[in-house]
Amino acid sequence: TPASATPATAAADADADAEDFPAPLPDASYTQANLRSTYTRCVDASEAVTARLQACGDEELSYQEDRLAEIVAGVVASPDSKAKDDWMDAQAAWWSDTNRHCRWDPKTDGQGQRLDAQSCRINRVANRVDQLQAAARSK
Protein backbone atom coordinates (compact mmCIF):
# COMPACT_ATOMS: atom_id res chain seq x y z
CA THR A 1 0.00 0.00 0.00
CA PRO A 2 1.18 3.59 -0.56
CA ALA A 3 0.93 4.42 3.14
CA SER A 4 3.44 1.74 4.06
CA ALA A 5 5.84 2.92 1.35
CA THR A 6 5.95 6.48 2.64
CA PRO A 7 7.83 5.77 5.90
CA ALA A 8 10.44 3.68 4.08
CA THR A 9 10.95 6.44 1.51
CA ALA A 10 11.20 9.03 4.27
CA ALA A 11 13.73 6.87 6.11
CA ALA A 12 15.81 6.43 2.95
CA ASP A 13 15.73 10.19 2.35
CA ALA A 14 16.77 10.80 5.95
CA ASP A 15 19.67 8.37 5.60
CA ALA A 16 20.84 10.04 2.40
CA ASP A 17 20.70 13.44 4.08
CA ALA A 18 22.65 12.18 7.09
CA GLU A 19 25.40 10.85 4.83
CA ASP A 20 25.48 13.81 2.48
CA PHE A 21 25.16 16.49 5.12
CA PRO A 22 26.93 15.70 8.39
CA ALA A 23 25.48 17.05 11.59
CA PRO A 24 26.50 20.61 12.39
CA LEU A 25 29.35 21.04 14.82
CA PRO A 26 28.30 21.79 18.41
CA ASP A 27 30.07 25.16 18.71
CA ALA A 28 32.68 27.50 17.23
CA SER A 29 35.56 25.78 19.05
CA TYR A 30 35.71 23.40 16.08
CA THR A 31 35.98 26.13 13.45
CA GLN A 32 37.64 29.17 15.08
CA ALA A 33 40.67 29.71 17.28
CA ASN A 34 43.47 32.14 17.97
CA LEU A 35 46.28 30.55 15.99
CA ARG A 36 49.84 31.67 15.40
CA SER A 37 50.55 34.24 12.72
CA THR A 38 53.15 31.85 11.29
CA TYR A 39 50.32 29.45 10.50
CA THR A 40 48.31 32.16 8.77
CA ARG A 41 51.34 33.19 6.74
CA CYS A 42 52.02 29.57 5.79
CA VAL A 43 48.43 29.07 4.62
CA ASP A 44 48.52 32.35 2.68
CA ALA A 45 51.75 31.30 0.96
CA SER A 46 50.45 27.81 0.14
CA GLU A 47 48.67 28.97 -3.02
CA ALA A 48 45.88 26.57 -2.01
CA VAL A 49 48.05 23.57 -2.90
CA THR A 50 46.73 20.68 -0.82
CA ALA A 51 50.14 19.28 0.15
CA ARG A 52 51.31 22.71 1.28
CA LEU A 53 48.12 23.34 3.25
CA GLN A 54 48.54 19.94 4.88
CA ALA A 55 52.13 20.77 5.82
CA CYS A 56 51.04 24.09 7.36
CA GLY A 57 48.39 22.26 9.34
CA ASP A 58 50.77 19.54 10.45
CA GLU A 59 53.15 22.15 11.85
CA GLU A 60 50.42 24.09 13.64
CA LEU A 61 48.78 20.96 15.04
CA SER A 62 52.11 19.74 16.37
CA TYR A 63 52.70 23.11 18.05
CA GLN A 64 49.23 23.16 19.62
CA GLU A 65 49.43 19.52 20.73
CA ASP A 66 52.81 20.21 22.38
CA ARG A 67 51.20 23.06 24.33
CA LEU A 68 48.41 20.75 25.44
CA ALA A 69 50.81 17.94 26.33
CA GLU A 70 52.71 20.32 28.62
CA ILE A 71 49.53 21.13 30.55
CA VAL A 72 48.49 17.47 30.75
CA ALA A 73 51.96 16.48 31.97
CA GLY A 74 51.67 19.02 34.77
CA VAL A 75 48.34 17.58 35.87
CA VAL A 76 49.59 13.99 35.61
CA ALA A 77 52.61 14.88 37.77
CA SER A 78 50.40 16.43 40.48
CA PRO A 79 49.37 14.45 43.56
CA ASP A 80 46.42 12.10 43.17
CA SER A 81 43.10 13.63 44.16
CA LYS A 82 39.43 13.66 43.29
CA ALA A 83 39.98 16.94 41.43
CA LYS A 84 42.75 15.35 39.35
CA ASP A 85 40.55 12.34 38.55
CA ASP A 86 37.71 14.67 37.53
CA TRP A 87 40.08 16.72 35.36
CA MET A 88 41.41 13.60 33.65
CA ASP A 89 37.85 12.36 33.03
CA ALA A 90 36.92 15.74 31.54
CA GLN A 91 40.03 15.69 29.34
CA ALA A 92 39.21 12.18 28.12
CA ALA A 93 35.66 13.27 27.30
CA TRP A 94 37.01 16.32 25.46
CA TRP A 95 39.31 14.09 23.35
CA SER A 96 36.46 11.70 22.62
CA ASP A 97 34.27 14.58 21.45
CA THR A 98 37.10 16.03 19.36
CA ASN A 99 37.77 12.66 17.74
CA ARG A 100 34.07 12.20 16.97
CA HIS A 101 33.71 15.56 15.20
CA CYS A 102 37.21 16.04 13.72
CA ARG A 103 37.61 12.81 11.83
CA TRP A 104 38.62 11.85 8.33
CA ASP A 105 38.16 8.47 6.71
CA PRO A 106 40.77 7.92 3.98
CA LYS A 107 38.64 5.15 2.48
CA THR A 108 35.63 7.38 1.79
CA ASP A 109 36.68 11.02 2.21
CA GLY A 110 38.69 13.22 -0.10
CA GLN A 111 41.43 15.78 0.39
CA GLY A 112 38.98 18.53 1.31
CA GLN A 113 37.55 16.49 4.15
CA ARG A 114 41.09 15.68 5.29
CA LEU A 115 41.95 19.37 5.49
CA ASP A 116 38.65 20.10 7.25
CA ALA A 117 39.33 17.41 9.86
CA GLN A 118 42.85 18.75 10.41
CA SER A 119 41.58 22.32 10.77
CA CYS A 120 38.90 21.14 13.19
CA ARG A 121 41.52 19.40 15.34
CA ILE A 122 43.86 22.41 15.27
CA ASN A 123 41.05 24.69 16.42
CA ARG A 124 39.88 22.31 19.13
CA VAL A 125 43.36 21.83 20.60
CA ALA A 126 44.22 25.55 20.49
CA ASN A 127 40.93 26.42 22.16
CA ARG A 128 41.39 23.74 24.82
CA VAL A 129 44.83 25.08 25.69
CA ASP A 130 43.45 28.63 25.93
CA GLN A 131 40.58 27.37 28.11
CA LEU A 132 42.88 25.44 30.45
CA GLN A 133 45.34 28.33 30.73
CA ALA A 134 42.52 30.76 31.54
CA ALA A 135 41.21 28.39 34.22
CA ALA A 136 44.69 28.09 35.76
CA ARG A 137 45.06 31.89 35.85
CA SER A 138 41.72 32.33 37.58
CA LYS A 139 42.66 30.03 40.47
pLDDT in the model for residue 139: 79
Domain that holds residue 118: 35-137
Determine the pLDDT at residue 2: 39
pLDDT digits (tens, 9 = 90+) for 39-85: 999 999 999 999 999 999 999 999 999 999 999 999 999 999 999 99
Residue 11 has what pLDDT? Answer: 45
The answer on pLDDT for 10 being more than 80 is no
Does residue 120 lie in a domain region?
yes
Q: pTM for the complete prediction?
A: 0.81
Q: Is 28 domain-assigned?
A: no
Give percent above pLDDT 90 in the chain. Answer: 76
Q: Does residue 121 fall inside a structural domain? A: yes
Would 44 be classed as within a structural domain?
yes
Residue 107 has a CB neighbour count (10 Å cut-off) of 4
In a domain, 52, yes or no: yes
The pLDDT of residue 13 is above 90: no
The shares of helix, strand and coil residues in the chain, as percent rounded to the nearest 5, are 75, 0, 25
* Residue 122 belongs to a domain: yes
CA 39 from centroid of its chain's CA atoms? 17
The total number of structural domains that make up the chain: 1
Between CA 120 and CA 98 the distance in angstroms is: 8
Mean pLDDT to the nearest integer, 80-107: 95
